[in-house]
Structure 1
Amino acid sequence: MIDHISIGVSDIARTRRFYDAALTPLGYKCLSAGEGSLGYGADGVVLWISATDHPVPADERSGLHICFTAADRGGVDAFHAAAVKKGGRDNGKPGIRKDYGDSYYAAFVVDPDGYRIEAYCGKAA
């Protein structure tokens, strides 16, 4: 249903360091990089990131939430560790989320601009 999503960020270089680290364990990479934009995906760009003077302030909640699929639970763990190491804030350590199902394994992070991102694996352990 959705082909891609775009977000605006305050510091494109900082954002690239963050998303390169956070998305690599999930099998996604930067497929497009320009002076003021980045494009991430596996086979095609699904996340566009552009420099802007007005990103979502870190102290405000836009309600936007982006969930990335992980091949396995180890990918979820690696996503969370890399994201926190590169400036993300923990918003839910890796683990089973029983509210969503017995096999819903996920981790949540807030990126440096305040966007809420998640990595998820629905496979049983």
Structure 2
Amino acid sequence: MLHHLSFAVTDIQRSAAFYDAVMAPLGYGRVWEDETFVGYGTEAGKDTFALKLRPQNAGVPGDGFHVAFAAPSREAVEAFYAAALAHGGTDNGGVGLHPEYGPDYCAAFVMDPDGYRIEAVV
């Protein structure tokens, strides 16, 4: 359904370092970049998630909005969570099984350095 999604960020270097770390365990990496933009995906030149530098008007959506990234395994979910906390993210619901969403729903919930709510799920 979605072709791509982008977040407005206040510090492109800080955000790119964070997303480099959390995307790697999920199998995603930088596929395009310039001074004000970093795109992530699996194929060169074809980003599906992007960061755009907007220091004056980066507005983070409120509670109720989040983005869930597909993970290949539970180990990748755990690695995503550890990388997020090690690179400026904060816990937003823990990591592991979340039976409130289903018997096998394994996810990690964090907030990135700008305050976006993100999740890795398998």
The bucket for the TM-score relative to the shorter chain is over 0.9
Aligned equivalents of 1:22, 1:64: Cα separation in 2: 19
Q: 1:42 Cα shift? A: 1.5
- Please give the secondary structure, in 1, of the residue aligned with 2:48: strand
Q: Does 1:99 align with 2:71?
A: no
Asked if 1 retains the 8 angstrom alpha-carbon contact of 2:12 and 2:36, the reply is yes
Match of 2:27 in 1: 27
1:54 maps to which of 57, 63, 66: 57
Segments of 4+ moved more than 6 angstroms: none
Instruction: Tell me the percent identity.
Output: 44
Q: 1:62 Cα shift? A: 5.8
Q: How does 1:44-83 map to 2 (within 5 A)?
A: 44-52=46-54, 53-56=56-59, 61=62, 63-83=64-84
Q: 1:61 Cα shift? A: 1.9
Asked if 1 retains the 8 angstrom alpha-carbon contact of 2:26 and 2:71, the reply is yes
Give unpaired runs (5+ residues) of structure 1: none
- Please give the secondary structure, in 2, of the residue aligned with 1:15: helix
Asked if 1 retains the 8 angstrom alpha-carbon contact of 2:16 and 2:51, the reply is no
Letter of the aligned partner of 1:91 in structure 2?
N
Q: Does 1:14 align with 2:9?
A: no
Give unpaired runs (5+ residues) of structure 2: none
Q: 1:63 Cα shift? A: 3.7
